[in-house]
Amino acid sequence: MILEDFLKHPAGKGAIIPGKDDLLTRLNIRFDFMLDKKGVNVNIYTHKDDVYYHFLIPTETLERNNVYDVVIKFTPGDKSNLLDKTYKQYNIEFFSNCPSFVYTYAYVANLNGYFIKELADKYEQETLKYPPTSRNPGNIFGYEKSIYFACRYLSNKNTQLLYKSYVEKVGKPLTNDIFNDIKTANKVLEEIEREKKVQKEEKKKAAIEKLNKKQKKMLNDRLERATGNTKSNVNIVQKTKTTNKKIDKIKPIKKKR
């Protein structure tokens, strides 16, 4: 499988993914949102003729700070690939410690030769040993967000990530320390739970503060009404000033003689 194959037909040519167009539309919207709000970090490592793109893909949830390790490995399918200027025709393999990949697609990827075996120790043994009967009973390799986001980023026409000349400039030799820094699937689950607890506590704190402000306002209103330091809706009728007008005395009419 090459990169273009995954983006167009992850389950294989001719295989049907129900609602594929709608799914891709939603994934692309989520990808653009994630890229705009959080961004993506990628490092490139080389080992002989193989190239590893190590991504740090952030969760889409703005309130959480979880980050997933995603690795896309490019390896030549035959000697003719070594003459290519890009890695677009190289075979690809996947790794992600995002739970949606670990517990739905990792087994299938390994079954079909799409999994990076060097990173198998990042999972529990059962993950690659037993099929995900409840999450993926058909053992279909489909679109998973963290893998899709990484591949979509690589395929962006505005980047030179897949050009060999670019990789020669910025790529670094692969060492064991790099693999050691990649988190295990269990570690990621622990971080997710911790972030959820923090998020829950923050929401609880915000709710308490909102309630306290409301109660404080109600108390202040009562105090103002009790002390008369508030405007009343009662209309006060003011007394009008009366003016004492001077009344002229009536003069008696003199009788004519």
Question: Over its length of 257 residues, how does the chain's per-residue pLDDT go in tens digits?
Answer: 999 999 999 998 888 888 999 999 999 999 999 999 999 999 999 999 999 999 999 999 888 889 999 999 999 999 999 999 999 999 999 999 999 999 999 999 999 999 999 999 999 999 999 999 999 999 999 999 999 999 999 999 778 999 999 999 999 999 989 999 999 999 999 999 998 888 777 777 777 877 777 777 887 878 778 877 655 444 444 555 555 554 444 455 454 44
Range of the domain at 143: 3-201
Angle between helices 20-37 and 145-154 (to 10 degrees): 70
pLDDT of 61 reads 86
Q: How many Å apart are CA 149 and CA 53, to the nearest integer?
A: 13
pLDDT of 229 reads 63
Two structure tokens written together for 174? 């692969």
pLDDT of 234 reads 45
Residue 247 in domain: no
pLDDT of 250 reads 45
Give the helix ranges, DSSP H, for the chain: 3-8, 20-37, 99-102, 106-111, 125-129, 145-154, 164-170, 176-180, 185-227
- The full DSSP string for 41-68 is EEEEEEETTEEEEEEEEEPS-TT---EE
Number of domains the chain contains: 1
Q: How many Å apart are CA 174 and CA 46, to the nearest integer?
A: 5
Residue 209 in domain: no
Residue 207 in domain: no
Residue 127 in domain: yes
Q: How many Å apart are CA 110 and CA 94, to the nearest integer?
A: 9
Contacts of 89 (CB under 8 A, 6+ apart): 2, 77, 81
pLDDT of 128 reads 97
Two structure tokens written together for 1? 């499988």
